[in-house]
Structure 1
Amino acid sequence: MPRRHPPRVNQNSRKENQPMLRIIGGEWRSRKLPFPEIEGLRPTPDRVRETLFNWLQNITPGARCLDLFAGSGALGLEALSRGADSVTFIDNAHEATRQLRDNLNLLKSQNGEVITSAALTWLEARQTDTEARYDLVFLDPPFRKDMVPLICELLEKRNLLSDNAVIYIEAESELSLLTVPNNWQESRSKTAGQVTYRLFFRSPEDQTETGSS
């Protein structure tokens, strides 16, 4: 009786069906990179990233960046493509961080650090005044979890921000008011469908107080 062999998996078909993100500009412009299908993982849309990095065109080059809730890494990878000095990617999904490491290897980038951790856990573990300070922070938490105020407070309390840091926040569009530290001033905002994205500029004064933007 002939041996039965398991059916072969079509590797090309698997790759074709995998979701992809596209780098919008910079060194890796138009490069497409895979990301895992995970419930709730929603890369920042191309048009939003294009607008955001137009806002940040004079800030991104040379910046030390933090990409919280990194997911596909779309924001941090875009920043690296456009000349950021480094990006720390934080996400709690092992599948997402594994793919991020693979994508950084594919791009031959040595400037990305990938950490598998919940964002709040990672922030709470930082030691005040002994950590790297970030010039540009991307904050894209799960919607309708009311996580933004605590995360912003921890960024200040752990002294993780440079004096004139810039913070980008994506949130559900029905959330009209964000509670952020008093020394963060909203510079720009825009709504695209169900998402409102905002850019805040930090000043070093009154960094221990919090209030409404």
Structure 2
Amino acid sequence: MRIISGKYAKRNLFTLKSNRTRPTSDKVKESLFNSLGQFFHGGNVLDLYAGSGALGIEAVSRGYDKASLVDINHAACSIIKKNVALTKEENRFDVYNMRSSVALKLFAENGERFDLVFLDPPYAKEKIAKDMMQMNKLDLLNENAIVVAETDDHTELGKITGFSLIKDHHLGKTIVRIYRKDK
């Protein structure tokens, strides 16, 4: 797995050797960023189930200002920190070793807001809608924020209050859904 494009392009990333994380493949990542617009002009990114940190690092590589990378798994956070070090711009990343619900509350307390959010939790159907509604309730999303939800091809999410589904990509056994926060 590697950074595909942007400032940190072609850097190989470390991954956790565990079946607890499912790294987003380079093919899925490339398709996802192509559909988002490829390159960006600032903003804050949140990867709430970061795994290796690849999505958040890729977003910063392509022009976002800063990424907050959250994972409950201590070993995953160690891998994320190694990957962030590869950028040589560690100040553009914050790594949090905590539950997603705790992280969301912490971000709200600190007045943080995000423009792009990645959600790829282990139990997608139950967590994605709940996390999205919680982010809305805590006012963590800037106007026109984008939320990217990655699931397997058997998971149906349905309508999520406060968000509009703008794209739905089927990439093999992976489905990537892109939502925009409603105004």
Task: Summarize the Cα distance change of 1:126–1:108 in structure 2 as closer, same or farther, 3 Å threshold.
Answer: closer
Match of 2:137? 157
Cα deviation, residue 87, structure 1: 0.2
Match of 1:195? 174
| Residue type of the alignment partner of 2:94 | E
Cα deviation, residue 145, structure 1: 5.7
Q: What CA deviation, in whole Å up to 9, does each residue of 1:46-98 have, x standing for no partner? A: 11111111122267331210011000111101101111100000001111111
Say yes or no: does 1:111 pair with 2:92: yes
Secondary structure at the aligned position of 2:160 is classed as strand
Q: What CA deviation, in whole Å up to 9, does each residue of 1:189-213 have, x standing for no partner? A: 1112322111111132xxxxxxxxx
Match of residue 82, structure 2, among 98, 102, 126: 102
**Counterparts of residues 1-213 of structure 1 (less than 5 Å):** 21-57=1-37, 60-109=40-89, 110-127=91-108, 131-143=111-123, 146-181=126-161, 183-204=162-183
* In structure 2, C-alpha distance between the alignment counterparts of 1:95 and 1:171, rounded to whole Å: 23
Structure label with greater radius of gyration: 1
Q: Which has the higher helix share?
A: 2
* In structure 2, C-alpha distance between the alignment counterparts of 1:199 and 1:44, rounded to whole Å: 15
| Residue type of the alignment partner of 1:198 | R
Q: Indicate the percent of aligned positions where both proteins have the same amino acid.
A: 33
Q: What CA deviation, in whole Å up to 9, does each residue of 1:135-173 have, x standing for no partner? A: 000111113561112111110111100011011001121
* In structure 1, C-alpha distance between the alignment counterparts of 2:22 and 2:73, rounded to whole Å: 13
- Any unmatched runs of 5+ in structure 2? none
User: What is the Cα-based RMSD across aligned positions, in Å?
Assistant: 1.8
* In structure 1, C-alpha distance between the alignment counterparts of 2:99 and 2:32, rounded to whole Å: 25
How many residues are treated as equivalent by the alignment?
Answer: 182
* In structure 2, C-alpha distance between the alignment counterparts of 1:80 and 1:162, rounded to whole Å: 17
Secondary structure at the aligned position of 2:177 is classed as strand
| Residue type of the alignment partner of 2:168 | S
Q: TM-score, normalised by structure 2?
A: 0.91
Secondary structure at the aligned position of 1:34 is classed as coil
